[in-house]
C-alpha cells in the first residue's frame, strides 16, 4: 500500500524490503524504523535472502531532521528506564538476523541511510549513488550504529574524514574505500542486488547464518579466541543437505563454479 513507510514483497525465495517515503527522500523516522524491524524479522521467517532498497530517486537521505527538531523543541524529561534506540534494534534485525541482506543503493545514501546500508551484508550501488556522513555539520553524531559498522568497514581515518569535512563520495569512490562491493550503471542496482540475493539463497540456511552471524563476531575476538570460535562452528553437526551437496560435488553432479557466476 502507498501509505506504508516500508514495503514488503516475496519474490520466490527472496524478500524485497523497500523504504517508501520518496517525497522525503526516504528519510528515516521512528515509525519507519519500527516497520523496518518488523519486516526484517518477517523476512527471516519467510525467505532465504533479502534485498533492501529505496523507492523513488534515493536510497535514503538519513535521519528525518524535522522529527528530530520537534523532539528537541519539546524538551521532554528523560525516561526513567530508557529503551534501546529503535534504530539499533531495527538495523541489528538486518545485520544479525536469520538471513543475509543485499542493499541496492542509488541516489542520496547519506547519514542514517549510509548506516542502514552498512547493516546489509553486501552493498550494490548504481552510478547515481552519493555517500556521505554530514552529521558533524548539523551538530549531531551518528546514531544508527555507524560508529561501529561503518568504521569497521572503511576504517577510522576514512570515516573521521567523512564526518569532519562532510564531503560526499560517488559510487566509484565508495568501491575504492570498500564500502561498496558492486557498482553498476544507473538504474541497475536493484536487479543486480536481486541476482546476488538469489545466488545467496541457493546456499544452505545454516551456512548463510554462520557467515552473517558468526563471522562478524569472530572479527571482534582475539586471534586464539577467533580460531576456537571457528573450530566450534566447523565442528557442528551438519544438516543432511550439506552431505547431499558434498556428494553432488564429489560425484560431479553440481555445476562448476564458473557456470554459477552472478549475471552482470
Task: Catalogue the active-site residues.
Answer: 115, 135
Whose cell is 513507510? That residue is: 5
Give the DSSP letter of residue 210.
Answer: I
Q: What is the rounded CA–CA span in Å between residue 100 and residue 215?
A: 12
CB-CB neighbours of 65 under 10 Å: 14
Whole-number Å distance between alpha carbons of 27 and 116: 11
Closest listed residue to residue 61, CA positions, set 105, 17, 3, 16: 105
What CA dihedral angle connects 246, 248, 251 and 252, to 10 degrees? -120
| Beta partners for residue 118, in sequence order | none
d(CA 260, CA 38): 33
Sheet-wide strand order for 108-110: 108-110, 130-132, 169-170
Looking at the chain, how many residues does it have? 264
Amino acid at each position: 500500500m502507498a501509505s506504508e513507510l516500508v514495503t514488503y514483497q516475496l519474490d520466490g525465495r527472496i524478500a524485497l524490503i523497500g523504504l517508501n517515503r520518496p517525497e522525503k527522500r526516504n528519510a528515516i523516522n521512528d515509525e519507519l524504523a519500527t516497520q523496518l524491524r518488523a519486516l526484517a524479522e518477517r523476512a527471516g521467517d519467510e525467505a532465504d535472502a533479502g534485498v533492501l532498497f529505496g523507492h523513488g530517486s534515493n536510497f535514503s537521505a538519513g535521519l528525518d531532521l524535522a522529527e528530530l527538531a520537534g523532539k528537541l523543541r519539546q524538551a521532554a524529561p528523560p525516561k526513567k528506564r530508557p529503551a534501546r534506540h529503535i534504530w539499533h534494534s531495527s538495523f541489528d534485525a538486518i545485520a544479525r538476523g536469520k538471513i543475509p541482506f543485499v542493499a541496492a543503493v542509488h541516489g542520496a545514501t547519506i547519514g542514517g541511510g549510509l548506516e542502514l546500508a552498512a547493516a546489509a551484508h553486501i552493498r550494490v550501488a548504481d552510478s547515481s549513488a552519493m555517500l556521505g556522513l554530514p552529521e558533524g555539520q548539523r551538530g549531531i553524531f551518528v546514531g544508527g550504529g555507524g560508529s561501529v559498522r561503518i568504521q569497521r568497514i572503511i576504517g577510522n581515518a576514512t570515516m573521521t574524514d567523512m564526518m569532519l569535512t562532510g564531503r560526499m563520495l560517488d559510487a566509484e569512490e565508495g568501491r575504492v574505500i570498500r564500502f561498496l562491493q558492486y557498482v553498476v550503471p544507473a538504474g541497475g542496482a536493484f536487479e543486480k542486488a536481486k541476482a546476488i540475493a538469489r545466488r545467496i539463497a541457493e546456499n544452505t540456511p545454516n551456512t548463510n547464518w554462520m557467515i552473517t552471524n558468526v563471522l562478524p563476531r569472530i572479527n571482534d575476538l582475539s586471534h586464539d579466541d577467533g580460531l576456537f570460535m571457528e573450530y566450534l562452528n566447523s565442528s557442528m553437526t551438519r544438516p543432511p543437505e550439506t552431505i547431499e551437496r558434498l556428494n553432488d560435488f564429489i560425484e560431479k553432479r553440481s555445476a562448476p563454479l564458473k557456470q554459477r557466476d552472478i549475471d552482470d
